């Protein structure tokens, strides 16, 4: 393929040649001829002008690659196919020259735009000897969750003057998954009022078998002798027993707003990023205490992960969260109408949204509250993200902030546990704030 | 005059207004913003629109990359450019007398044309030095353009010299060599000045870890070899092309001696048209070679030979 330089030189030569013939000026013709010869030599013996000569496009062409680039083979190995945000991925690219001739190659391994090269380089200029192979190692940092793909490997050969080059994409791809990073939570203050039959590690604010103190009551026949509270007996003169709070598993529903408005703000600091991280942390915490966790992600469609327990469920949830893309504008009311018949009454519901651009939010959350669901809303503020990034001015910020405060106040009035989640606030702090601690 | 200062209290904005309970609409809010709430400049994304010249050249003239101080390779290339530049300036002056330049045709004054021609050559040399020293592609491009402008002549078919120091004017063979050498120097100047920029970029990329170069000596060595071999090959091939007026009669002479003599005495063949004819023949052959896909066959041959 012609480079810009060769195209300019070629044009110059043609212009000089025609001008020289027109003006009968042998000097101009001579200069043009020398430039032609220079270009022809580079094209002919650089071995890279074949595409231009054949009149075929590079992507339609396979024959020449058999001679020039067909003998170059690439293979790639990743240190891991799954990782968490801010994790590092070591890539080993193995380049082989199966030909008997040495080749000077430019190799670029295409890395997703959001990734940062931490060590090494994905762009290499090298001389690959005959029947030799070399390993190129580099490390990329993966700051954002998602499904990613490394590749293709672009190989280029060009003549020393950069007049003609030939490129080939070696379609070697490696997919990997970046999960949202998780925060370790000690306490979420979210408890179910509706127990399930299996005993678990969660207090559900009902008396029953458990470890946490619930209340005192009078002794009845059949009560365990060990549960008598002797101090209370001494004070009141009546036999009193300690009642304990019942431990049981709960159904936890996490709703993540991934509408297009959720991505308002910088790429690495927006509502969707915070919501997915929070959902992952909460899922890990609840699954860790043997709760059953279901996740609903809505944007242009409603994607749900059915309630389940265990490590496998965590992996399924993380995968869904990794693939959440800010798209569409489904109102929350649609989501609520769809899921309401399928969730147990009274289950804790955690809703993660920036509460923007959806007039149905109040009604939808009212529907939950009317059915006695324990609703917690964590709302990462897009306003703060945008204001921090200096994308909105002070007046605009004040206006919208006030509107947002009014909305939050209204939701709080419905009995929703809500917290305006500021960018620098830890998830545990935001949760505690939402639950009134 | 009383200037009202902006207050941090914005409660007055809501007096007598119905406050919506739904989520705020960014668009609507933006529409409601009053005077003095212009969009901050850093909120507008930077859009790089190439200028007309840049779009012609297919990219920015000035690379965004700030070059690190030149390494030895770049310094050597700079020295080579300075050498070639001096030689090129002298030869340009020698083979482009003011008669026949556009200045002479436009103004009819030999002195003015001479001054203009000297100014253009001096300008080309100075900008060439600056472009190479500062490693700024804009100056180099300007220098290239000025050199091309200097060589444009609208006059005779034959080469004439403005300063015949070595007495070449009466020797057509030496004149032809001089023009070929000039042409090779011109193209080498283009290449070397471009090489300074290319290798500065590469060197900076290597030192900032953007590119990793394995075995750089071999890669640089190949470039150095090409800097020597390519001009020699270009000179020989160009000489072959330009010798049509001697080669053609020789070939024809195998079949007919009379035609050979007539060809040798032909004015057309010794003029620029003879050169054009030679070029035509040679490039027809080159075209056929490309049509037969010679580069591929050559590559395959080299591969099989290496087996």
Q: Is B158 on the interface with A (CB under 8 A)?
A: yes
**Closest alpha carbon within chain A to B274:** A26
What pLDDT is attached to residue A61? 40
Residues 116-145 of B with CB under 8 A from A: none
DSSP A130: T
Residues of B in contact with A68 (CB under 8 A): 296, 299
Residues 6+ apart with CB under 8 A from A260: A299, A326, A327, A328, A329
Per-residue pLDDT band for B292 (boundaries 50, 70, 90) equals: confident
Does the beta-carbon distance from A398 to B10 stay under 8 Å? Answer: yes
- Return per-residue pLDDT of chain A as tens, 437 residues: 777 788 888 899 999 888 888 888 878 888 888 888 888 888 776 544 333 333 333 344 444 444 557 788 899 999 999 999 989 999 999 998 887 777 888 899 999 988 888 888 888 888 888 888 889 899 999 988 999 999 899 988 888 888 888 888 888 999 999 999 998 888 777 666 655 555 555 555 666 665 667 788 888 888 888 888 898 889 888 888 888 765 555 789 999 999 999 988 888 888 999 999 999 999 999 998 888 899 999 999 999 999 888 889 999 999 999 999 999 999 999 999 999 888 877 788 999 999 998 999 999 999 999 888 889 999 998 888 888 777 778 888 888 889 999 999 999 999 999 999 888 888 888 888 887 77
Q: Is B9 on the interface with A (CB under 8 A)?
A: no
- Whether the model pTM is above 0.80: no
Lowest mean pLDDT among A127-131, B47-51, B105-109: B47-51
- Structure-block tokens of residue B277: 């004819």
What pLDDT is attached to residue A193? 60
Does the beta-carbon distance from A42 to B307 stay under 8 Å? Answer: no
Q: How far is A157 from chain B (nearest CA, A)?
A: 12
Sheet of A202-207, strands arranged across: A202-207, A240-248, A213-218
Does the beta-carbon distance from B295 to A21 stay under 8 Å? Answer: no
Q: Is B298 on the interface with A (CB under 8 A)?
A: yes
For the cut 80, the answer to whether the pLDDT of residue B56 exceeds it is: no
Residues 6+ apart with CB under 8 A from A272: A256, A257, A258, A262, A263, A324, A326
Residues of A in contact with B242 (CB under 8 A): 30, 33
Q: Which of the residues B33, B224, B296, B305 would you substitute to probe the A interface, choosing the one with the greatest number of A C-beta atoms within 10 Å?
A: B296
**Closest alpha carbon within chain B to A409:** B21
Q: Is B174 on the interface with A (CB under 8 A)?
A: no
Q: How far is B21 from chain A (nearest CA, A)?
A: 5
Q: Is B105 on the interface with A (CB under 8 A)?
A: no
Q: Which among A101, A355, A390 has CB closest to B23?
A: A355
Q: Which among A37, A99, A136 has CB closest to B237?
A: A37
Residues of B in contact with A53 (CB under 8 A): 290-291, 293, 295
CB-count exposure of residue A303 (10 Å: 0-12, 13-18, 19+): middle
What pLDDT is attached to residue B3? 42
Q: Can you tell me the distance from the alpha carbon of A361 to that of A298, in angstroms, rounded to the nearest whole number? A: 13
Q: Which among B23, B157, B272 has CB closest to A361?
A: B23
Does the beta-carbon distance from A161 to B226 stay under 8 Å? Answer: yes
Q: Can you tell me the distance from the alpha carbon of B240 to that of B279, in angstroms, rounded to the nearest whole number? A: 9
Residues of A in contact with B272 (CB under 8 A): 20-21, 24-26, 29
Residues 85-104 of B with CB under 8 A from A: 95-96
Q: Which of the residues B212, B269, B280 would you substitute to probe the A interface, choosing the one with the greatest number of A C-beta atoms within 10 Å?
A: B212
B151-209 residue pLDDT tens: 887 766 566 776 677 777 777 778 888 888 999 999 999 999 988 988 888 888 888 88
Q: Which helix or strand (DSSP H or E) is residue A34 part of? A: helix A26-46
Residues 246-265 of B with CB under 8 A from A: none
Residues of B in contact with A36 (CB under 8 A): 279, 283
Own/partner long-range contacts of B230-235 (Cβ < 8 Å, ≥24 apart): B230/A38, B230/A41, B230/A42, B230/A161, B231/B184, B231/B187, B231/B188, B233/A37, B233/A41, B234/A34, B234/A37, B234/A38, B234/A41, B234/B184, B234/B187, B235/A34, B235/B180, B235/B181, B235/B184
- What's the whole-number average pLDDT of chain B? 77
Residues of B in contact with A101 (CB under 8 A): 302-303, 306
Q: Is B108 on the interface with A (CB under 8 A)?
A: no
B67-91 residue pLDDT tens: 888 888 899 999 999 999 999 999 9
């Amino acid at each position: 393929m012609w480079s810009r330089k060769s195209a300019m030189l070629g044009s110059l030569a043609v212009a000089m040649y025609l001008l020289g013939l027109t003006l009968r000026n042998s000097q101009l013709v001579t200069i043009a001829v020398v430039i032609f010869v220079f270009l022809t030599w580079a094209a002919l013996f650089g071995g890279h002008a074949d595409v231009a000569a054949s009149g075929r496009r590079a992507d339609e062409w396979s024959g020449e690659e058999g001679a020039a680039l067909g003998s170059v083979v690439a293979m790639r190995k990743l240190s891991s196919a799954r990782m968490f945000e801010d994790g590092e991925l070591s890539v080993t690219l193995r380049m082989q020259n199966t030909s008997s001739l040495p080749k000077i190659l430019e190799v670029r391994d295409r890395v997703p735009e959001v990734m940062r090269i931490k060590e090494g380089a994905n762009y290499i200029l090298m001389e690959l000897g005959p029947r030799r192979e070399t390993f190129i190692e580099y490390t990329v940092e993966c700051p954002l969750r998602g499904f990613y793909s490394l590749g293709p490997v672009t190989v280029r050969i060009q003549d020393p003057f950069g007049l003609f080059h030939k490129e080939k994409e070696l379609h070697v791809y490696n997919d990997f998954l970046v999960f949202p990073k998780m925060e370790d939570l000690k306490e979420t203050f979210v408890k179910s009022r509706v127990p399930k039959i299996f005993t678990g590690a969660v207090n559900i604010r009902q008396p029953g078998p458990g470890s946490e103190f619930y209340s005192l009551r009078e002794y009845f026949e059949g009560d365990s002798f060990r549960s008598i509270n002797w101090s209370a007996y001494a004070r009141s003169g009546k036999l009193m027993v300690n009642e304990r709070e019942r431990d049981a598993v709960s159904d936890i529903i996490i709703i993540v707003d991934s509408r297009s408005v959720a991505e308002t703000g910088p790429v690495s600091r927006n509502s969707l990023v915070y919501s997915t991280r929070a959902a992952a942390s909460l899922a890990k915490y609840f699954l860790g205490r043997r709760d059953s966790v279901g996740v609903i992600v809505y944007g242009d469609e409603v994607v749900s992960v059915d309630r389940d327990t265990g490590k496998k469920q965590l992996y399924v949830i993380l995968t869904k969260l990794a693939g959440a893309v800010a798209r569409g504008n489904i109102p929350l009311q649609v989501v609520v109408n769809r899921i309401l018949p399928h969730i147990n009454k009274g289950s804790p519901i955690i809703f993660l949204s920036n509460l923007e651009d959806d007039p149905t939010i109040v009604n939808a959350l009212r529907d939950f509250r009317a059915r006695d669901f324990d609703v917690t809303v964590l709302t990462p503020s897009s306003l703060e993200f945008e204001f921090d990034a200096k994308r909105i001015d002070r007046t605009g910020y004040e206006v919208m902030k006030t509107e947002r405060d009014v909305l939050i106040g209204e939701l709080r009035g419905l009995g929703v546990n809500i917290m305006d989640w500021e960018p620098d606030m830890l998830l545990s702090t935001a949760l505690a704030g939402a639950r009134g601690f | 005059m009383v200037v009202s200062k902006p207050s941090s209290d914005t409660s007055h904005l809501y007096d007598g207004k119905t406050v919506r309970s739904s989520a705020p609409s960014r668009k609507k809010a933006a529409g409601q913003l009053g005077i003095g709430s212009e969009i901050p400049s850093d909120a507008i994304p930077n859009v790089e629109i190439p200028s007309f010249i840049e779009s012609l050249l297919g990219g920015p003239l000035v690379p965004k990359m700030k070059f690190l101080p030149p390494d030895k390779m770049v310094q050597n290339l700079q020295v080579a450019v300075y050498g070639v530049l001096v030689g090129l300036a002298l030869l340009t002056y020698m083979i482009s007398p003011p008669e026949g330049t556009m200045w002479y045709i436009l103004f009819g004054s030999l002195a003015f044309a001479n001054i203009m021609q000297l100014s253009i050559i001096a300008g080309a040399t100075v900008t060439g030095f600056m472009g190479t020293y500062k490693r700024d592609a804009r100056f180099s491009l300007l220098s290239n353009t000025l050199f091309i402008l200097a060589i444009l002549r609208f006059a005779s078919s034959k080469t004439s010299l403005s300063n015949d120091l070595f007495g070449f004017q009466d020797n057509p063979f030496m004149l032809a060599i001089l023009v070929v050498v000039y042409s090779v120097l011109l193209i080498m100047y283009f290449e070397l000045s471009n090489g300074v920029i290319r290798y500065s970029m590469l060197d900076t990329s290597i030192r900032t870890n953007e590119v990793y170069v394995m075995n750089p000596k071999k890669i640089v060595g190949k470039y150095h070899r090409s800097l020597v071999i390519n001009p020699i090959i270009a000179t020989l091939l160009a000489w072959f092309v330009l010798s049509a007026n001697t080669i053609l009669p020789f070939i024809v002479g195998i079949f007919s001696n009379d035609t050979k003599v007539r060809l040798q005495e032909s004015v057309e063949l010794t003029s620029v048209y003879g050169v054009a004819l030679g070029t035509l023949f040679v490039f027809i052959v080159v075209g056929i070679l490309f049509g037969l896909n010679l580069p591929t066959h050559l590559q395959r041959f080299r591969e099989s030979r290496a087996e």
